[in-house]
Amino acid sequence: MALPELIIDRIETFLVPPRWLFVRVETRDGAVGWGEASLEGYGEAVMGAFEPIRDRFIGHDARRIEDIWQIAYRGGFYRGGPVLMSALSGLDQALWDLKGHAAGMPAWEMMGGRVRDKIRAYSWIGGDRPHDIGAAAKERHDQGFTAIKMNATAEMDWIGTPKLFDDVIARVEAAQAAGMDVGLDFHGRVHRPLAKRLAAALEPLGLLFIEEPLLSENFEGLKEISGLVSTPIALGERLFSRWDFKRFFEQAAVDIVQPDLSHAGGLSECRRIAAMAEAHDVAVAPHCPLGPLALAACLQLAGTAPNVAIQEMSIGIHYNVGHDLTSYVKDPEVLTAQEGYLAIPTGPGLGITIDEQQVREVAKEGHRWRNPIWRTRDGSFAEW
C-alpha cells in the first residue's frame, strides 16, 4: 500500500540543555518526525542553517528523503563542513522518523531489514589517576558494560621520552583489571613524533582501538602509524561525508570508522559510509556523545549495517550531567543498556517517543554551551 502524500509544512529547531539541538518536521496532515542536529558549541550556527532549509523544503514531499538529501547537500553550491552537515543530519533523521511513523515500521526495516537484534555498547569513563580509573571502570562493569573508552592523556609534548607513557599504561591496566575492554581516545592531542612511540608502547595491552592518534587532517601521519602497529586505528568524528572518508579507505589508513550521525549527513549518509567501509573490510563504531535522538539514529544504523561493531553511548560524560540519554524521552527503556548491549528498537521511525511538551518548555531558555579550552603546562593550546 502506497504511503499517503506527506507535504512538509513546518520545520522547527529546539536548543535544549545540556548542549543538544532537536529538529521537528511536521506535514500538512499532522505527521511528525524528530531528529538531532547537535553540533557541540555551535548550536546557534546550525539553527541559522535551517533558514535556507525551510525555504527549500516547506511544501516538499517528505517521502522523497534521498531527493531532499541531494538538494540540501548540492543545491546551495557550497557544501560540506560541520554546520551545514549537522543541519542536514538532523533533517534527515527527522524525515526517516516521520516516514517510519507514517509507514508503521522502523527506519531499519525501510532500509533493507534487520541484521542483528542488539549491538554491543561502550561508555565513557574519566579520571586522571589509576585508582580513579579503576573505580570508574568497576562502576561501569557493575552496570553491565564490558567495554569503556577513556582519555589516553591530558596532554603530550611534541617530543619526549618513554617515561611519559608509564602513567598512560598504568591507567589502562587499572581499567582492564576491573574486567573492561578498553579503547583509548588520543583526541589528536599527541603529535606525530611522540604518537608513534606511544602507540608502540601500548601495543602489548591489547586495546580495542586507538582513537584519533593524530588529527584526521594529518593523513600522512595516520597512514604511517597504522603501518607501525596492529592495534586498530579508529577515527572519523570530525569527518562529515563519504568523500571525507574516501581516502582513508583507499589508503588502508583506518580500521574502524566513527561517523557521527548528527554531523555526517544523518542516517542516509552514514549508511553509505558504512557500505563503503564494508567494501574495504573496515568496521563502524558510530560516534555518539550526544542526546537520545542521535543514539536512536545510531541504533537504526546498527540494525541494518552488518559491519557496525560497537556503539558509543554518553553515560558519564561530564558535560551531559543532569541530562542523560533518557531526558526528553517517554520510553527511556529503549535506550538503556542491558548486560553491555543496546537492543535495536522495534518501534516506528527512530524507535523512541519524544516528550514534546517538555522539549518546548525547556527550549524557551535553551542553552549557550561552549567547548572548554585546555592548555598544556607551557600555556599553549591543547586539543579537545
Active-site residue list: 187, 287
* Residue 338 near residue 313 (C-beta atoms within 8 A): no
**For residues 306 and 290, what is the distance between their CA atoms, to the nearest angstrom?**
23
**Based on the number of CB atoms within 10 Å of its own CB, is 109 exposed (0-12), middle (13-18) or buried (19 or more)?**
middle
3-state secondary structure 226-243: HCCCCCCEEECCCCCCHH
**For residues 160 and 255, what is the distance between their CA atoms, to the nearest angstrom?**
27
Question: Amino acid letter at 86?
Answer: S
DSSP notation for 351-383: S--B-HHHHHHHTTT--------EE-TTS-EE-
ω into 18 cis (within 30 of 0): yes
* Beta-carbon contacts of residue 357 (< 8 Å; ≥ 6 apart): none
Half-sphere exposure of 147 (CA within 13 A, CB side): 20
Q: Is 287 helix (H, G, I), strand (E, B) or coil?
A: strand
DSSP designation for 351: S
* Nearest one of 297, 281, 259, 314 to 91, comparing CA atoms: 297
**For residues 276 and 196, what is the distance between their CA atoms, to the nearest angstrom?**
28
Question: What end-to-end distance do the CA atoms of the chain give, in Å?
Answer: 50
Determine the length of the chain.
384
Question: Amino acid letter at 356?
Answer: E
Question: Amino acid letter at 251?
Answer: Q
Half-sphere exposure of 62 (CA within 13 A, CB side): 35
Helix (H) or strand (E) holding 88: helix 82-103
